[in-house]
Protein backbone atom coordinates (compact mmCIF):
# COMPACT_ATOMS: atom_id res chain seq x y z
CA UNK A 1 0.00 0.00 0.00
CA UNK A 2 1.65 3.21 -1.15
CA UNK A 3 0.86 6.88 -1.39
CA UNK A 4 -1.76 8.40 -1.30
CA UNK A 5 -3.29 5.72 0.97
CA UNK A 6 -0.17 5.61 3.07
CA UNK A 7 0.83 8.97 4.60
CA UNK A 8 3.35 8.49 7.43
CA UNK A 9 3.02 12.18 8.28
CA UNK A 10 -0.48 11.55 9.75
CA UNK A 11 1.15 10.24 12.92
CA UNK A 12 3.61 13.13 13.10
CA UNK A 13 1.23 16.06 12.95
CA UNK A 14 1.38 17.15 16.59
CA UNK A 15 3.50 16.65 19.65
CA UNK A 16 0.70 14.58 21.18
CA UNK A 17 0.66 12.22 18.16
CA UNK A 18 4.43 11.98 18.09
CA UNK A 19 4.45 10.97 21.75
CA UNK A 20 1.93 8.21 21.06
CA UNK A 21 3.88 6.90 18.08
CA UNK A 22 7.29 7.09 19.78
CA UNK A 23 9.29 3.84 19.78
CA UNK A 24 12.19 4.78 22.05
CA UNK A 25 11.98 6.69 25.31
CA UNK A 26 14.76 7.81 27.61
CA UNK A 27 14.37 7.54 31.38
CA UNK A 28 16.60 8.36 34.36
CA UNK A 29 16.95 4.58 34.88
CA UNK A 30 18.90 4.35 31.60
CA UNK A 31 21.91 6.31 32.78
CA UNK A 32 25.15 5.68 34.65
CA UNK A 33 27.17 8.78 35.58
CA UNK A 34 31.00 8.62 35.53
CA UNK A 35 32.73 10.50 38.36
CA UNK A 36 36.43 11.28 38.92
CA UNK A 37 38.22 11.16 42.27
CA UNK A 38 41.40 13.06 43.13
CA UNK A 39 43.37 13.35 46.42
CA UNK A 40 42.75 16.11 48.93
CA UNK A 41 39.83 17.72 50.75
CA UNK A 42 37.19 20.19 49.51
CA UNK A 43 38.50 19.80 45.93
CA UNK A 44 36.19 20.47 43.00
CA UNK A 45 38.38 20.93 40.02
CA UNK A 46 36.71 21.59 36.66
CA UNK A 47 37.97 19.41 33.81
CA UNK A 48 38.73 21.95 31.11
CA UNK A 49 38.13 19.65 28.16
CA UNK A 50 34.79 18.45 29.59
CA UNK A 51 32.64 21.48 30.50
CA UNK A 52 30.32 20.62 33.40
CA UNK A 53 32.51 17.73 34.62
CA UNK A 54 34.75 18.01 37.68
CA UNK A 55 37.31 16.02 39.59
CA UNK A 56 36.27 15.60 43.23
CA UNK A 57 38.04 14.82 46.46
CA UNK A 58 36.30 12.03 48.39
CA UNK A 59 34.25 14.40 50.61
CA UNK A 60 33.02 16.40 47.59
CA UNK A 61 32.29 13.25 45.62
CA UNK A 62 30.01 12.05 48.41
CA UNK A 63 28.24 15.43 48.46
CA UNK A 64 27.86 15.43 44.67
CA UNK A 65 26.59 11.84 44.69
CA UNK A 66 23.88 12.89 47.15
CA UNK A 67 22.91 15.79 44.90
CA UNK A 68 22.64 13.74 41.71
CA UNK A 69 20.82 10.90 43.48
CA UNK A 70 18.21 13.54 44.40
CA UNK A 71 17.94 14.41 40.72
CA UNK A 72 17.11 10.78 39.98
CA UNK A 73 20.44 9.40 38.76
CA UNK A 74 20.29 5.66 39.52
CA UNK A 75 23.94 4.66 39.20
CA UNK A 76 27.46 6.05 39.03
CA UNK A 77 30.83 4.65 38.01
CA UNK A 78 33.92 5.80 39.89
CA UNK A 79 37.35 6.53 38.41
CA UNK A 80 40.32 7.83 40.35
CA UNK A 81 43.59 9.60 39.66
CA UNK A 82 45.81 8.89 42.68
CA UNK A 83 48.85 11.08 43.39
CA UNK A 84 51.31 8.20 43.78
CA UNK A 85 51.92 6.27 40.59
CA UNK A 86 54.32 3.38 40.14
CA UNK A 87 55.00 0.54 37.74
CA UNK A 88 52.59 -1.83 39.56
CA UNK A 89 49.58 0.48 40.14
CA UNK A 90 50.00 -0.08 43.91
CA UNK A 91 47.68 2.83 44.77
CA UNK A 92 44.72 0.77 43.51
CA UNK A 93 45.50 -2.05 45.95
CA UNK A 94 45.28 0.26 48.97
CA UNK A 95 42.17 -0.52 51.06
CA UNK A 96 42.18 3.16 52.10
CA UNK A 97 42.60 4.39 48.53
CA UNK A 98 40.41 7.02 46.90
CA UNK A 99 37.87 4.58 45.43
CA UNK A 100 37.38 2.43 48.58
CA UNK A 101 36.94 5.59 50.70
CA UNK A 102 34.46 7.07 48.24
CA UNK A 103 32.49 3.83 47.91
CA UNK A 104 32.10 3.62 51.69
CA UNK A 105 31.13 7.29 51.98
CA UNK A 106 28.64 7.19 49.13
CA UNK A 107 26.98 3.92 50.18
CA UNK A 108 26.60 5.32 53.72
CA UNK A 109 25.14 8.61 52.49
CA UNK A 110 22.90 7.23 49.72
CA UNK A 111 22.45 3.44 50.02
CA UNK A 112 20.01 3.38 47.10
CA UNK A 113 22.51 4.74 44.58
CA UNK A 114 24.26 1.94 42.66
CA UNK A 115 28.03 2.41 42.70
CA UNK A 116 30.16 0.72 40.05
CA UNK A 117 33.94 0.98 40.16
CA UNK A 118 36.04 1.06 37.03
CA UNK A 119 38.89 -1.46 37.25
CA UNK A 120 41.99 -0.66 35.21
CA UNK A 121 45.61 0.18 35.93
CA UNK A 122 46.28 3.18 33.65
CA UNK A 123 45.63 6.04 36.08
CA UNK A 124 47.83 4.48 38.81
CA UNK A 125 50.77 3.39 36.66
CA UNK A 126 53.71 5.72 36.01
CA UNK A 127 53.72 4.61 32.36
CA UNK A 128 49.97 5.13 31.94
CA UNK A 129 49.25 1.75 30.36
CA UNK A 130 46.31 -0.44 31.39
CA UNK A 131 48.53 -3.42 32.25
CA UNK A 132 52.06 -4.20 33.44
CA UNK A 133 54.81 -3.29 30.99
CA UNK A 134 57.68 -5.70 30.27
CA UNK A 135 61.24 -4.41 29.70
CA UNK A 136 60.60 -4.86 25.98
CA UNK A 137 57.74 -2.36 26.20
CA UNK A 138 55.14 -5.07 25.56
CA UNK A 139 52.16 -5.47 27.90
CA UNK A 140 52.34 -8.54 30.15
CA UNK A 141 48.78 -9.87 29.87
CA UNK A 142 48.75 -12.61 32.49
CA UNK A 143 50.43 -10.75 35.36
CA UNK A 144 48.22 -7.72 34.60
CA UNK A 145 45.16 -9.91 34.97
CA UNK A 146 46.30 -11.01 38.46
CA UNK A 147 46.70 -7.39 39.57
CA UNK A 148 43.38 -6.37 38.04
CA UNK A 149 41.63 -9.14 39.99
CA UNK A 150 43.26 -7.84 43.19
CA UNK A 151 42.02 -4.32 42.42
CA UNK A 152 38.50 -5.66 41.84
CA UNK A 153 38.63 -7.49 45.19
CA UNK A 154 39.83 -4.32 46.92
CA UNK A 155 36.80 -2.44 45.57
CA UNK A 156 34.35 -5.27 46.30
CA UNK A 157 35.59 -5.34 49.92
CA UNK A 158 34.84 -1.61 50.18
CA UNK A 159 31.24 -2.33 49.16
CA UNK A 160 31.14 -1.62 45.42
CA UNK A 161 27.87 -2.74 43.83
CA UNK A 162 29.79 -3.92 40.75
CA UNK A 163 33.29 -3.98 39.36
CA UNK A 164 33.83 -2.92 35.75
CA UNK A 165 37.09 -4.00 34.09
CA UNK A 166 38.07 -1.57 31.29
CA UNK A 167 41.64 -2.77 30.62
CA UNK A 168 40.95 -5.15 27.71
CA UNK A 169 43.44 -7.82 28.83
CA UNK A 170 42.51 -11.38 27.86
CA UNK A 171 41.09 -13.47 30.69
CA UNK A 172 40.56 -10.66 33.22
CA UNK A 173 36.90 -11.49 33.81
CA UNK A 174 37.67 -15.13 34.68
CA UNK A 175 40.49 -14.11 37.02
CA UNK A 176 38.21 -11.59 38.74
CA UNK A 177 35.26 -13.95 39.04
CA UNK A 178 37.44 -16.66 40.57
CA UNK A 179 39.10 -14.35 43.09
CA UNK A 180 35.81 -12.68 44.05
CA UNK A 181 34.09 -16.05 44.51
CA UNK A 182 36.93 -17.46 46.61
CA UNK A 183 36.95 -14.34 48.78
CA UNK A 184 33.26 -14.21 49.69
CA UNK A 185 32.05 -11.91 46.93
CA UNK A 186 30.17 -14.38 44.75
CA UNK A 187 27.26 -11.94 44.53
CA UNK A 188 29.27 -8.94 43.27
CA UNK A 189 28.46 -8.49 39.55
CA UNK A 190 31.07 -7.93 36.87
CA UNK A 191 30.21 -5.34 34.23
CA UNK A 192 32.68 -6.00 31.49
CA UNK A 193 33.91 -3.40 29.00
CA UNK A 194 33.82 -6.27 26.51
CA UNK A 195 34.05 -4.41 23.21
CA UNK A 196 36.25 -1.43 23.93
CA UNK A 197 37.85 0.17 20.90
CA UNK A 198 41.16 2.03 20.60
CA UNK A 199 39.41 5.37 20.11
CA UNK A 200 40.37 8.97 19.45
CA UNK A 201 37.31 9.93 21.49
CA UNK A 202 38.97 9.16 24.86
CA UNK A 203 41.17 12.27 24.69
CA UNK A 204 39.31 14.48 27.20
CA UNK A 205 38.91 11.57 29.68
CA UNK A 206 42.66 11.20 29.88
CA UNK A 207 42.84 14.74 31.27
CA UNK A 208 40.12 13.90 33.83
CA UNK A 209 41.69 10.57 34.88
CA UNK A 210 45.30 11.62 34.30
CA UNK A 211 45.79 8.39 32.38
CA UNK A 212 47.43 9.15 29.04
CA UNK A 213 50.07 6.53 28.11
CA UNK A 214 53.62 7.90 28.50
CA UNK A 215 54.73 6.04 25.38
CA UNK A 216 53.01 4.21 22.54
CA UNK A 217 49.27 3.73 22.38
CA UNK A 218 46.64 1.19 23.46
CA UNK A 219 46.17 -0.58 20.15
CA UNK A 220 47.75 -3.84 21.29
CA UNK A 221 44.91 -4.34 23.80
CA UNK A 222 41.96 -2.16 22.78
CA UNK A 223 40.07 -3.19 19.65
CA UNK A 224 40.60 -2.03 16.08
CA UNK A 225 37.73 0.35 15.17
CA UNK A 226 37.36 -1.49 11.87
CA UNK A 227 36.16 -4.73 13.51
CA UNK A 228 32.61 -5.76 14.42
CA UNK A 229 32.73 -9.57 14.29
CA UNK A 230 35.61 -9.43 16.74
CA UNK A 231 33.36 -7.54 19.17
CA UNK A 232 31.03 -10.54 19.28
CA UNK A 233 33.98 -12.79 20.01
CA UNK A 234 35.08 -10.53 22.89
CA UNK A 235 31.54 -10.38 24.27
CA UNK A 236 31.05 -14.14 24.15
CA UNK A 237 34.43 -14.76 25.79
CA UNK A 238 33.58 -12.39 28.65
CA UNK A 239 30.18 -14.03 29.18
CA UNK A 240 31.80 -17.47 29.28
CA UNK A 241 34.21 -16.09 31.89
CA UNK A 242 31.31 -14.94 34.07
CA UNK A 243 30.47 -11.35 33.07
CA UNK A 244 26.99 -10.24 34.15
CA UNK A 245 26.69 -7.32 31.76
CA UNK A 246 28.69 -6.33 28.72
CA UNK A 247 29.58 -2.93 27.38
CA UNK A 248 30.32 -1.41 23.98
CA UNK A 249 32.56 1.66 24.04
CA UNK A 250 32.52 4.29 22.53
CA UNK A 251 28.80 4.38 21.69
CA UNK A 252 27.95 6.83 18.89
CA UNK A 253 30.47 5.64 16.26
CA UNK A 254 29.65 1.97 17.08
CA UNK A 255 25.85 1.76 16.86
CA UNK A 256 26.09 -1.24 14.52
CA UNK A 257 28.17 -3.05 17.13
CA UNK A 258 25.63 -2.24 19.87
CA UNK A 259 22.88 -3.65 17.66
CA UNK A 260 24.78 -6.84 16.86
CA UNK A 261 25.73 -7.43 20.49
CA UNK A 262 22.13 -6.80 21.59
CA UNK A 263 20.94 -9.46 19.14
CA UNK A 264 23.64 -11.96 20.10
CA UNK A 265 23.26 -12.07 23.91
CA UNK A 266 20.60 -12.13 26.62
CA UNK A 267 22.39 -10.10 29.31
CA UNK A 268 21.94 -6.34 29.63
CA UNK A 269 24.06 -4.39 27.15
CA UNK A 270 25.58 -1.09 28.25
CA UNK A 271 27.09 1.52 25.93
CA UNK A 272 29.51 4.28 26.96
CA UNK A 273 29.02 7.69 25.40
CA UNK A 274 32.63 8.65 26.03
CA UNK A 275 34.34 11.92 26.85
CA UNK A 276 35.02 12.94 23.25
CA UNK A 277 31.41 12.35 22.23
CA UNK A 278 30.35 14.59 25.13
CA UNK A 279 32.96 17.28 24.55
CA UNK A 280 32.13 17.63 20.86
CA UNK A 281 28.54 18.50 21.75
CA UNK A 282 29.61 20.81 24.58
CA UNK A 283 32.19 22.67 22.48
CA UNK A 284 29.86 23.16 19.53
CA UNK A 285 27.00 24.31 21.77
CA UNK A 286 29.28 26.79 23.57
CA UNK A 287 29.94 28.36 20.19
CA UNK A 288 26.26 28.44 19.41
CA UNK A 289 26.71 25.96 16.58
CA UNK A 290 24.47 23.25 17.97
CA UNK A 291 21.58 22.95 20.45
CA UNK A 292 23.08 21.05 23.38
CA UNK A 293 19.84 19.65 24.78
CA UNK A 294 18.57 18.47 21.40
CA UNK A 295 21.95 16.92 20.54
CA UNK A 296 22.12 15.13 23.90
CA UNK A 297 18.60 13.73 23.46
CA UNK A 298 19.25 12.71 19.85
CA UNK A 299 22.58 10.96 20.48
CA UNK A 300 21.33 9.16 23.61
CA UNK A 301 18.07 8.16 21.91
CA UNK A 302 20.09 6.79 18.99
CA UNK A 303 22.27 4.74 21.34
CA UNK A 304 19.19 3.31 23.06
CA UNK A 305 17.40 2.69 19.74
CA UNK A 306 20.48 0.77 18.54
CA UNK A 307 19.95 -1.63 21.45
CA UNK A 308 21.68 -0.31 24.55
CA UNK A 309 19.82 -1.08 27.79
CA UNK A 310 22.04 1.26 29.80
CA UNK A 311 24.14 4.26 28.81
CA UNK A 312 27.17 5.60 30.63
CA UNK A 313 27.10 9.32 29.93
CA UNK A 314 28.43 12.58 31.32
CA UNK A 315 25.00 14.05 30.53
CA UNK A 316 23.31 11.82 33.16
CA UNK A 317 22.44 14.45 35.83
CA UNK A 318 21.52 17.05 33.20
CA UNK A 319 19.36 14.50 31.35
CA UNK A 320 17.50 13.65 34.57
CA UNK A 321 16.83 17.36 35.00
CA UNK A 322 15.71 17.79 31.37
CA UNK A 323 13.49 14.69 31.53
CA UNK A 324 11.79 16.12 34.63
CA UNK A 325 11.15 19.42 32.86
CA UNK A 326 9.79 17.61 29.80
CA UNK A 327 7.12 15.78 31.78
Instruction: Rule CB under 6 A: say whether 125 interacts with ligand PBG.
Output: no
Q: How far apart are CA 130 and CA 198, in angstroms?
A: 12
Instruction: Rule CB under 6 A: say whether 130 interacts with ligand PBG.
Output: yes
Among the residues of the chain, which ranges form H helices? Answer: 15-21, 58-71, 98-109, 141-158, 172-182, 203-208, 229-240, 255-264, 275-286, 292-306, 316-326
The catalytically annotated residue of 41, 85, 104, 249 is 249
Binding mask 226-265 for ligand PBG (x = CB under 6 A): ----------------------------------------
Instruction: Rule CB under 6 A: say whether 120 interacts with ligand PBG.
Output: yes
CB of 109 to ligand PBG, least distance (A): 25
Contact 175, 145 (CB under 8 A): yes
Q: How far apart are CA 273 and CA 219, in angstroms?
A: 20
Q: Label the pairing between strands 132-133 and 75-80.
A: unpaired
Q: Which stretch binds ligand PBG (CB under 6 A): 80-88, 132-140, 205-213, 296-304?
A: 205-213
Instruction: Rule CB under 6 A: say whether 316 interacts with ligand PBG.
Output: no
CB of 12 to ligand PBG, least distance (A): 35
196 is catalytic: yes
CB of 166 to ligand PBG, least distance (A): 4
Say how many residues make up the chain. Answer: 327
CB of 40 to ligand PBG, least distance (A): 22
DSSP 33: E
249 is catalytic: yes
Q: 317 by DSSP, 3-state: which?
A: helix
User: Using the rule CB under 6 A, which residue among 55, 275, 279, 318 binds ligand PBG?
Assistant: 275
Distances from the Cα of 189 to the Cα of 98, 141, 176, 229, angstroms? 21, 23, 10, 26
- Give the residues lining the site for ligand PBG (CB under 6 A): 118, 120, 122, 130, 166-167, 202, 205-206, 211, 218, 274-275
Which residues belong to the active site?
196, 249
Amino acid sequence: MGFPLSRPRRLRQSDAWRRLARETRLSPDDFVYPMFLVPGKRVRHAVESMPGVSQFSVDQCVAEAERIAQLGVAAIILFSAPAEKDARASAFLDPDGLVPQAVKGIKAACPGLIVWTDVCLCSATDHGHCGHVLPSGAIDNDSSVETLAQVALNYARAGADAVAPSDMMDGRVLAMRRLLDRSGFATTPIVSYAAKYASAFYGPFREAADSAPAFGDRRSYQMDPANAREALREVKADLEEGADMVMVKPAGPYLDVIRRVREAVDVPVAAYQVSGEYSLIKAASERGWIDERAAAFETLTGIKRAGADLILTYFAPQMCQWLKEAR
